[in-house]
Structure 1
Amino acid sequence: MNTLEQLRAGALRGTQRLTLREGLRELPAEVYTLADTLEVLDLSGNELEDLPADLARLHRLKVIFCSNNRFTRLPEALGRCEALEMVGFKANRIDDVPAAALPPRLRWLILTDNRVATLPDALGRRPLQKVALAGNRLTALPASLAACETLELLRISANRLDGLPDWLLTLPRLTWLAHGGNPFSMAHEASALASAALPRVPWSRLAVQALLGEGASGHIYRAVTADGGAVALKVFKGEVTSDGLPSTELAACLQAGSHPQLIPAIGRLSGHPAGADGLLMPLVGPEFRALAEPPSLASCTRDVYDAALRLTPTAALSMATGLADALAHLHERGLSHGDLYAHNTLHDGHGQARLGDFGAASFLASVPPQQAARLQALDVRALGCLLEELAGCCDVQAPGLQAMRAVAQDCLQPQVDRRPRAGDVAQRLRGAAMG
């Protein structure tokens, strides 16, 4: 994080990234002294209501974050920034998105947790890859998005949609979709919550210990039960996240059931002092770690792997087969995952994997049968991406890897209805592993 004092003293000259948290009500004029180098500008957590009309003087600006400010309208100054590719205005009060505010190179738009009811048709005429719109007031999507063949990730959860348009699920590159918490899906989510057979575990009967991690939807702690058993406890935040509503994730976790490659829920929290929901899960061993990091500003939709991660073909095939089987299990349980990614996968380096994070999951019964089949096909495309990445982590070539790459290409088929089902993918990968 930077300071105004540093900026005004000229200490930041030549910087490519500037982050200011100073209770700002306007953009400091000194920012323009960085015009020849500044590419990422983060003004989140201030008191801004608008941006200056001459923002385009920052002619190298590629990324701007203005989350948690006071904007009610997406500033039209953004649309004049020729190099701008990513626009993030999460958790403002935006109810107006003018077409003129959309930069010509826009590929990543974040408007999560605002008040947007309509979007301009111009949105579909941008080279979009990633769009986050959860927690707004949308009743429809712009029809122009039907021509947006570059779109890969879309978050439209917790809006006011009465259904999904058929064209959406035929987009050739759409891979990660979250749509829970809308009127057409909430009955199924509520039913899953009401019918869950998991035992209730009172907060008072748990000794909460170390924080193990934090995601968009909640905190995960190590906890000890009254009988002395150690568990993982996820306490949901109870607010709109980039994926949608925590209640949707909770319902999906309860619906998912048991599978060797999933981290199961073994109890449901009750009596939290702040009324929060929570789940108890088995502790995953310390040998398990995230397969990759989430996408970066540069990679946009693709995970970032440690260059040092190397897998044997046997381990890669074992992991791929298990994850495909877990996905088939979820589909049979009436769920689409919506966020099948390496960063949501834990692995031990020897072929064992655990898929988690149901924040973007949705209930297949909430849509017509043809749409349900296509939602599963989106998950299969995500699986294809993962298969490609796993193969890329192997230095030694083997016939099984060649077969896995062939399966991946079938999963990535641009014609959605021609992709294989997850169960068929798992079967083909088993055959590849057996040689």
Structure 2
Amino acid sequence: MHTLADLRAGRLAGIERLDLSCGLEQFPPEIFELADTLRVLNLSGNALDQLPDDLYRLDRLEVLFASENRFTELPSALGRCKRLSMIGFKANRIEHIPAQALPAHLRWLILTDNHLESLPEQLGHCSDLQKLMLAGNRLRSLPASLANCDRLELLRIASNRLDTLPDWLLSMPALAWLAHAGNPFSTCPAPARIRRIPWRQLTVSQQLGEGASGIIQQGQWQSEEGSRPVAIKLYKGELTSDGSPLDEMQACMAAATHPQLIDVLGEITDHPEQRRGLVMGLIDPEWSNLAGPPSLDSCTRDCYPADLTLDLPALMRLATGIAAVTAHLHARSLTHGDLYAHNILWQPDGRCLLGDFGAAAFHPAAAQAQALERIEVRAFGIFLQELLDRCPAASDESRLQTLAQACRQDQVLARPAMHEVHRLLLQLSEA
């Protein structure tokens, strides 16, 4: 994090990224002195409610973050920034988006946790748009013009006030990651039957990690059957970029058991702070994430270790395992919504576990189930191609390449069902 004192003293000359979070109520004019080099400007965590009209003077600016401020309108000045492609205004008070606030080359727009009730039709003119994050607003509809955004791959519309999921949305050719839980149209079946585990039976030893939806701790569960080590996830009540943590919890319980899922042992009851939580199987620390999440540059593509190389047996085991668990979820009227390598724990021999149900959702209507599942098939096709790109031995496996292409084809309903993908991978593994 940089300081205002360093900025004013000229000690930041030549930097490409500026991070300022120091209670700012006004845009520091000294930022313009960085115009020759500044690409990324992060003003999150301040008290700003406007930006200067001449923001376009930062003519190299590509990324602007202004989350957790006091904006009530997306600043029109953004639209005049010629290179600006990524905008993040999460957790403000934004009620309105002027059409002129949308830059010509907008690629990634984050407006999670605001007060939006509608979006401008001009959003559909943003032909480069790939990632649109709108969870936690008050949207009652989506502009039909969004159907023109042929490059849109990731859409978060969970926890809004949408009465229907538009049919045009389900035919968008590039869409692969969709989160839509927590809307009036969303259906949530009767709560899954799951063991109830009183908090008094749990002893917490250490924190294992913390994500957007909750904290995971290692602990011990003392039940009538004896004592066993477990992972304890306590959910936050706060909105995440994907939606509500409690919707995630419902999806985790509904997913039930599968060899490629972390075991959910029970739901926590009688927590002293009335927090919701799950008790899960403890994963050996030798398991690791297959990839890192997308970067500012990659936008919708995971970042794999540069030296990662797979042999063909490991690739087949990985692909078959993830196809199997995704087909399992679809059979239970669930989509994962975030089928990415960074949400997969793995071992070098190809064993794998699919985690992070933050974007998961139940099918809202039987008539839309097939299209929703085929959208996720595209995400699998992207994942499969990423594996193939890291497996030298796969260059001769034309059937795998053909399968990856079939899963990614533009015609949504022409893609194979996930159970068909799994069956074909099993056949190829046995050949």
TM over 0.5: yes
- Could you tell me which residue of structure 2 aligns to residue 30 of structure 1? 30
Instruction: Give the unaligned 5+ runs of structure 2.
Output: none
CA distance in 1, matches of 2:56, 2:83: 9
**8 Å contact kept, 1:313–1:398:** no
Q: Deviations over 1:326-379 (max 9, x none)?
A: 111101111111110000100011010000111111111x2242x110000011
Deviation of 1:225 after TM superposition, in Å, equals 1.1
Instruction: Give the unaligned 5+ runs of structure 1.
Output: none
Deviation of 1:73 after TM superposition, in Å, equals 0.6
CA distance in 2, matches of 1:283, 1:433: 30
CA RMSD of aligned residues (A): 1.1
Aligned residues: 427
**Letter aligned with residue 82 of structure 2:** E
- Could you tell me which residue of structure 1 aligns to residue 420 of structure 2? 424
**8 Å contact kept, 2:345–2:353:** yes
Q: Does 1:168 align with 2:169?
A: yes
**8 Å contact kept, 2:388–2:394:** no
Q: Deviations over 1:124-150 (max 9, x none)?
A: 100210000000000000111011101
Deviation of 1:204 after TM superposition, in Å, equals 2.5
- Identify the range of structure 1 (202-211 vs 415-424) with the bigger mean alpha-carbon deviation: 202-211
- Could you tell me which residue of structure 1 aligns to residue 258 of structure 2? 259
For residues 235 and 394 of structure 1, do their structure 2 counterparts lie closer, same or farther at Cα, with a shift above 3 Å needed?
same
- Could you tell me which residue of structure 1 aligns to residue 78 of structure 2? 78
Deviation of 1:398 after TM superposition, in Å, equals 6.1
CA distance in 1, matches of 2:320, 2:399: 12
Residues 229-378 of structure 1 mapped to structure 2, 5 A cutoff:
229-364=228-363, 366-369=364-367, 371-378=368-375
SS in 2 for 1:222: strand
- Could you tell me which residue of structure 1 aligns to residue 5 of structure 2? 5
**8 Å contact kept, 1:309–1:393:** yes
- Identify the range of structure 1 (417-426 vs 222-231) with the bigger mean alpha-carbon deviation: 222-231
**8 Å contact kept, 2:56–2:78:** yes
CA distance in 1, matches of 2:178, 2:67: 22
- Could you tell me which residue of structure 1 aligns to residue 130 of structure 2? 129
Q: Does 1:392 align with 2:389?
A: yes
CA distance in 2, matches of 1:404, 1:285: 31
CA distance in 2, matches of 1:72, 1:192: 38
- Identify the range of structure 1 (209-218 vs 29-38) with the bigger mean alpha-carbon deviation: 209-218
Q: Deviations over 1:122-180 (max 9, x none)?
A: 10100210000000000000111011101000000000001111000100000000000
Residues 19-168 of structure 1 mapped to structure 2, 5 A cutoff:
19-126=19-126, 127-168=128-169
Instruction: Give TM-score scaled by structure 1 length.
Output: 0.96
Deviation of 1:396 after TM superposition, in Å, equals 2.8
For residues 415 and 397 of structure 1, do their structure 2 counterparts lie closer, same or farther at Cα, with a shift above 3 Å needed?
closer
**Letter aligned with residue 205 of structure 2:** Q
**8 Å contact kept, 1:74–1:96:** yes
> How many percent identity over aligned positions?
54
CA distance in 1, matches of 2:419, 2:394: 25
**Letter aligned with residue 425 of structure 1:** V
CA distance in 1, matches of 2:204, 2:88: 35
Residues 181-192 of structure 1 mapped to structure 2, 5 A cutoff:
181-185=182-186, 188-189=187-188, 191-192=189-190
**8 Å contact kept, 1:25–1:47:** yes
**8 Å contact kept, 1:102–1:123:** yes
**8 Å contact kept, 1:163–1:367:** no
CA distance in 1, matches of 2:247, 2:97: 27
**Letter aligned with residue 179 of structure 2:** A
SS in 1 for 2:264: coil
**Letter aligned with residue 290 of structure 1:** N
**8 Å contact kept, 1:192–1:251:** no
SS in 2 for 1:225: strand
CA distance in 2, matches of 1:398, 1:7: 51
**Letter aligned with residue 234 of structure 2:** V
- Could you tell me which residue of structure 1 aligns to residue 429 of structure 2? 433
CA distance in 2, matches of 1:72, 1:45: 15
SS in 1 for 2:227: coil
CA distance in 2, matches of 1:84, 1:268: 45
Deviation of 1:417 after TM superposition, in Å, equals 0.8
SS in 1 for 2:375: helix
Deviation of 1:5 after TM superposition, in Å, equals 1.1
**8 Å contact kept, 2:64–2:88:** yes
CA distance in 2, matches of 1:223, 1:281: 10
Q: Deviations over 1:71-98 (max 9, x none)?
A: 1111111111110000000001110111
CA distance in 2, matches of 1:219, 1:308: 31
CA distance in 2, matches of 1:91, 1:6: 27
- Could you tell me which residue of structure 2 aligns to residue 220 of structure 1? 216
For residues 398 and 72 of structure 1, do their structure 2 counterparts lie closer, same or farther at Cα, with a shift above 3 Å needed?
closer
Q: Deviations over 1:245-270 (max 9, x none)?
A: 11111111111011101112111111
Q: Deviations over 1:274-321 (max 9, x none)?
A: 222111111112221001000000000010000111111110011101
CA distance in 2, matches of 1:415, 1:427: 21
CA distance in 2, matches of 1:101, 1:397: 46
